[in-house]
Chain A
């Protein structure tokens, strides 16, 4: 009897947690189909017009393109760098290794705003003025530690004897990396890549300082749109992002098993 009560209470708690996490998303999706001119909940009438309206906004379309290119570019640059850095850290027996690791992981704990301001100052000093390049550098720096972390975690779980076994079997350094280490840390690399994509896509604080009037990311475009209008087109664009993210998650799960990736 008590056990049944306990189980019931546990289920209720789990249910409440999911509700708390997912209810806002459900609200946004519902509101996006609102037919009225202001966001209201529950919607009084239904329509797809805000999707059309959102799509018609030049700033959203431009922002989506910039954000997508930026996320892909930054993730593709940061991931190989992260693999190289993690491999170096993992193999190093140098005394300064912990300090170097802390330095590489620092952007993880430094507030995004601070990274943004520092990059603004540093890039201005280096005379890098093109917003796309500044954004690409900024996002690469901001997402690098996530890649380093996930790759380091999967390296730590490798049996060091695997590398030695490959060596005694005649494999040189590159062959050992290519045939043994790389396949075994691939889940960690992919996890870092996916984290990087998502973090870059949804970053505001770093982009805020590095974007300019002609090159704006989607989150920044949404923010500036919200300053002047509060119509459901923002909800519409959010719903589209939710759909894309869900699709990506399903694809990853089908392809590699998302749980395994995140556990890495």
Chain B
């Protein structure tokens, strides 16, 4: 268990600034995830923490100790690689024992620790197999055991579940959560999958263009995205630009040619420019009764309708020029068949005031 702190980390490659003044912290036992699209600098940041890449600027601190100039071999960090990097010429037990061997741990003690760690990842019965004889999920667990058996100060994982199919990935996520909580180890995780990040993390740092856009708990990042990029990455794909209209109670927002309900609890000066974000699954659709806008709703026309089985997604063109995306569940709802909308149909899109967020 250790306290990890990055202080103004930056890394340049020629003219390309891969990582730009990144400062984050993970307390003892916390699970911190760097989330972002490929090329956002998350893997470079992770490799800087591991000691595999030297930062151009900034410091890496473990429990307050500056380890920036320490090589990877001296840092005592457990790492799980994207390709897993299991040694193909060693058995599972030999793979797991490698770090202990390098630390000259006595053979008897090492064997015991390897056995116990293999029990933790539930692979005790496969110790004598070679990595090529294991399934993807089993290989994953060997990589995890190999990184953990050296009792690292922190555990870092570079998109370890990318290669797995959906079902196995979900099982491994649950497994990883169980193991890291059980051992209480500080973890740094890298992924581009927002669901994975939400499920695993205590803290999420969303990265874009080498910088951290927002850092917070999964709830904060999901419910109150700080920037349009974070909002979009967390699935808030509808963003309307408008102005705040002060008035009775909560006030309203003038956007896309309509007066829309403002999210509760926002106190802004009249006329302040705002960006309103709404998740596609929070938008309700109903057939437009007649021409002209309705109170608190946006009128538009369905330009794309895609049936996904349990739900359907619709793209709605607004008269103001933009489009909205709405995802509606299909099938029975409160005894009524949910309506399907057709391309070309005029509809009204509305949502509860609390479903929208100001970004």
Contact = CB atoms under 8 A, between A and B. Distances in A.
B72 A168 contact: yes
Contacts of A257: none
Interface stretch (B79-87, B175-183, B240-248, B298-306): B79-87
How many residues of B sit at the interface, in one of the four size bands?
20 to 34
Interface string B56-86: 0000000000000001111111110111111
B102 interface: yes
A130 to B, nearest CB: 43
Given A159-B83, A161-B81, A179-B98, A170 B88 contact: no
B89 interface: yes
Nearest to A167: B72
A194 B102 CA distance: 33
B342 interface: no
Interface residues of A, number: 17
B85 A183 contact: no
B102 A159 contact: no
B73 A168 contact: yes
Nearest to B101: A179
Contacts of B73: 167-172
Contacts of B81: 161, 164-165
Nearest to B79: A168
B98 A166 contact: yes
A170 B81 CA distance: 15
B167 interface: no
A184 B99 contact: no
Contact of A161 (B77, B82, B89): B82
Contacts of A169: 73, 98-99, 102, 146-147, 150
Contacts of B85: 159, 161-162, 164-165
B99 A170 contact: yes
A244 interface: no
A198 B82 CA distance: 42
Interface string B92-115: 000000110111000000000000
Interface of A: 159, 161-162, 164-172, 175, 179-180, 183-184
5 contacts: A167-B52, A168-B51, A169-B102, A169-B147, A169-B150
